[in-house]
Structure 1
Amino acid sequence: MKKNILPIAVGIAALACLTSSTITQLQQQLPPAPTIKLPQGFQANIVADSLGPVRHLVVTANGNLYVKMNNVRNRKGLYYLTDNNKDGIFETKTGFGDYPGTGIKIKNGYLYSSSNSGVYRYKLNDKNEVIDTEKPELLVSGLVDKRADNAKSFVIDDSNNMYVAIGSYSDACRAPGSIVGIPGCPLRDSVGGIWKFKADKPNQTFGDGMRFATGVKNSVGIDINPVTKTVFVTQHGRSLDNKYPQYYTSQQVAQLPAEALYELKQGVDAGWPFAYYDNFQNKYVQSPEYGGDGKKSPDVKYLEPQVIIPAHFAPNDLLFYTGKMFPAKYRNGAFMAFHAQSPEMKKGYLVAFVPFKNGKPSGNWEIFADNFSGTETGSVSIQYRPTGLAQGPDGALYVADDIKGTIFKISYSAR
């Protein structure tokens, strides 16, 4: 007998009955998000609140939400949110799962969810409800988890390959008690990259995976480009600390190195920990732990970033937009959720957009949704902090905040 089926959601047919004017009226009734600044024609509304430390999220085909939680103390690891009366507010919350984590996807009739050391999946019924919440299928276990930079974000392609990010808990692969890097950095064998597993094979361990890309210090945002079908990631850069005053001023420490958006292919190397990308010199620079002086270029050629992101922005999610609600310029472009603030720009806690053409960036990143912090600079008490992105079946953009556990719905209506 099937058990623990989540509450039934309103079907797709019910959504189809809503006219565009009805949807607009419902949006106008939602609680507004007064601090959020958006381009003309866009509107942000709060559709869920006080959930706790939300990480990534996904929207089902019938408009309900699954969200992943980063802390299970007095909470569950996942929540299923439903809007049963179709007023635009997710008033029903069903929790399940006893593990924290970040990644969450729906693919091929399953809900996939990552802990900080592995990946699970739950079979869905035809209403996108988890059939058995108590018995997830364990797909991958044994991934390194030493608490620091331990999010296991992932994405699944159309060939059932699952690409899992394994961040490095070590900032620069230094020898214990030293400021010198370990020769060859053996940590790269298990962290600081993307590993490929099968999305439909249970009980895989780390050893069953294939290293797909290396030198990526910590990737929390990961998605597949809908045009090129290649894997893109956002990288959290390392910190330079204040260990090398002979090479870096305190201002440089605050503004280096760049974070980045990368396109990955089998075998690429983005440089960590041997080199980092300098967003002022616009080149890779040898890391000080490995003989660098803040100017020296490495002898090895590393993967060039597709887009340069200022230091310490903490890009925590990546989403290629394929919907039709937003204007044409957004189609197949990439949204990024910045979880922190850049000292260089004195700005942060925002959602950025990168325009794409023919599968490649056609311009630099631009601010799309700003002022989640509640201030112009984000330098005082932070109100909201973007951490997750998802696209709804109507083409709306959902943004998760991990301070209050607020979820925003950003919609567009031409005026």
Structure 2
Amino acid sequence: MSFTIACCAPPWWSYQGAVRSVHRRPQATARIIQTKAIQTRGSIRPHKYPCARVPGSRAAPGETGVIKTSGLMVAFVLGCFAAITPAVAIGTDQEPGQKIHVDLGALPVPYAPPSGANPSRTIPKPADATLKVPPGFVVNVFADNLGNARNVRVAPNGDVFLVASGDNKILIMHDGGGTAKAVTIFADGFNAPYGLAFINNAILVGDLDGVWKLPYTPGDAHARDRQVRITPVGALSDPGGHGTRNVVVSPDGTKFYVAIGSRGNVAEDPEPRATIQEFAMDGSHQHTFASGLRNPVGIAFYPGTNDLYAVVNERDTLGDELVPDYFTKVVDGGFYGWPYAYLGNHPQPAFASRRPDLVAKAIVPDVLFRSHSAPVGMTFYTAMQFPLAYRGGAFVALHGSWNTSTPRGYIVAHVPFVGGKPADSYTVFASGFWASGEKRAEVWGRPAGVAMAKDGSLLIADDISGTIWRVSYKGK
């Protein structure tokens, strides 16, 4: 196989696994060179990335780096990336097992390069569609034809609840040994529902109008009574802007928390926008738990602790590689930057000078995802079915980008935990939604929700094809 090194590697992220390490100086200039033909084993995914030139910068003379991949080692002039043209070219972060690290210390400057609209194109789901997962895992369709499958949750008895946000309803299905049986409408009449949490003899549902309480006994196929709103009118802000209202209950069952996104991209929105709100279980005693979170969607407590974690969609328009989305522990009273700063005290143009006090106190998040990957659903894995490396970690649905020159996301990522804390990187766990299109993603599905089934398998909700996928481990 012969190929041309045609463009630069972004300095702020690296791969390990299929591509084990890539680093360069953040202000190195792109070079274009030819390499000789080499022999390798197996398939190689394309690694192509547009260069972010910083005005006045130059690459250091003789500066080089190395890309290491399975069966391949390619020396390259720093600032370049291997562009390979296989039969079907897609993005660089799609190989199960790839380890991805976004380097906080090597972020580009704003607007270098600028970002622009590049939405995915939806294509029909192939008849033989499936997901790519690591060796030893198998995939099957748990349920399909479910509509706008946005969020998935599993009841204590193993029944699976699906929040179909665009259809304003909640579906329930019995797990019949790896596939769904008796799919029914549990409740409807909501206004873009998203969050769903279980408490004693009830379910909490978060939608654009508030948090609603529905009577529930495990085994119910339909809600036995009308839902009752327990939060005051307007407590979750108005319906405009980011439209998810996720809900999670504290481990002791005395409080619940609601994640609320901003109204727009960058603005001084009044609270409760861009916050996580805390309530007593009857909907009273509203309190801003954490703020400066532009669009927190997935929220969950780390098992066995009172540590609340969230995945956050960061702002747009600062460039292809700004601002990285993230996964982080959120603390009571914590401020996470938006709109005045990002990822700690990195200043937001035109806003930082308004509140230098908040810029100085902005908290650096724990794990960075590639910018615009759009983390949505998350769950912690506490079962024993999967290998040890996955236990205690988090699975995150990266819904996929719309405004980068090179698409990214459209995967389920795994964030490992070590000693009760998240590592500083993540790995690709499940991909395959992105079928073709290197510069514009052509997708038949997008991962949105994730949940652990009672048997320890992982359920993945795809809100494009209306499918819940089931991933189980059978051994290598």
Scaled by the length of structure 1, the TM-score of the pair is 0.77
State yes or no: 1:136 paired with 2:196.
no
* 1:191 match: 273
- Map of 1:157-306 to 2, 5 A cutoff? 157-159=250-252, 160-173=254-267, 185=268, 187-199=269-281, 201=282, 204=284, 208-240=285-317, 253-277=319-343, 284-291=345-352, 300-306=360-366
Contact 1:161 1:196 in 2 (8 A): yes
Structure 2 counterpart of 1:93, one-letter code: T
* 2:159 match: 64
Structure 1 counterpart of 2:451, one-letter code: A
User: What secondary structure does 2:319 align onto?
Assistant: helix
State yes or no: 1:39 paired with 2:131.
no
Contact 2:459 2:469 in 1 (8 A): yes
User: What secondary structure does 1:71 align onto?
Assistant: helix
Contact 2:405 2:439 in 1 (8 A): no
Match of 1:117 among 184, 209, 222: 209
Match of 1:94 among 180, 185, 189: 185
Contact 1:77 1:98 in 2 (8 A): yes
User: Greater helix share, 1 or 2?
Assistant: 1
Quote the Cα distance in structure 2 between the aligned partners of 1:108 and 1:70: 24
User: What secondary structure does 1:300 align onto?
Assistant: helix
User: CA distance change for structure 1 residues 377 and 209 in 2, over 3 Å: closer, same or farther?
Assistant: farther
Contact 1:236 1:314 in 2 (8 A): yes
User: What secondary structure does 2:161 align onto?
Assistant: strand
User: In the TM superposition, what is the alpha-carbon distance from 1:35 to its structure 2 partner?
Assistant: 3.7
Over the residues paired in the alignment, what is the CA RMSD in angstroms?
A: 2.5
Scaled by the length of structure 2, the TM-score of the pair is 0.67
Identity of aligned residues (%): 28
User: In the TM superposition, what is the alpha-carbon distance from 1:298 to its structure 2 partner?
Assistant: 7.8
Which consecutive unaligned segments of at least 5 residues does structure 2 have? 1-125
User: In the TM superposition, what is the alpha-carbon distance from 1:90 to its structure 2 partner?
Assistant: 3.2
Quote the Cα distance in structure 1 between the aligned partners of 2:440 and 2:182: 33
User: CA distance change for structure 1 residues 77 and 413 in 2, over 3 Å: closer, same or farther?
Assistant: same
Task: Please give the per-residue CA displacement for 1:163-185, whole angstroms capped at 9, x wherever unaligned.
Answer: 11111112211xxxxxxxxxxx3
User: In the TM superposition, what is the alpha-carbon distance from 1:220 to its structure 2 partner?
Assistant: 0.7
Quote the Cα distance in structure 1 between the aligned partners of 2:178 and 2:278: 41
Which consecutive unaligned segments of at least 5 residues does structure 1 have? 1-30, 174-184, 241-251, 278-282
Quote the Cα distance in structure 2 between the aligned partners of 1:289 and 1:390: 40
Contact 2:193 2:245 in 1 (8 A): yes
Quote the Cα distance in structure 1 between the aligned partners of 2:416 and 2:127: 27
Task: Please give the per-residue CA displacement for 1:67-109, whole angstroms capped at 9, x wherever unaligned.
Answer: 112123xxx511112356x572435323522112211122333
State yes or no: 1:325 paired with 2:391.
no
* 1:177 match: none
Runs of at least 4 residues off by over 4 Å: 128-131, 296-299
User: What secondary structure does 2:434 align onto?
Assistant: coil
User: What secondary structure does 1:263 align onto?
Assistant: strand
Quote the Cα distance in structure 1 between the aligned partners of 2:128 and 2:458: 14
Structure 1 counterpart of 2:322, one-letter code: L
Quote the Cα distance in structure 2 between the aligned partners of 1:320 and 1:33: 29
Who wins on radius of gyration, i.e. which is larger?
Answer: 2
Contact 1:285 1:297 in 2 (8 A): no
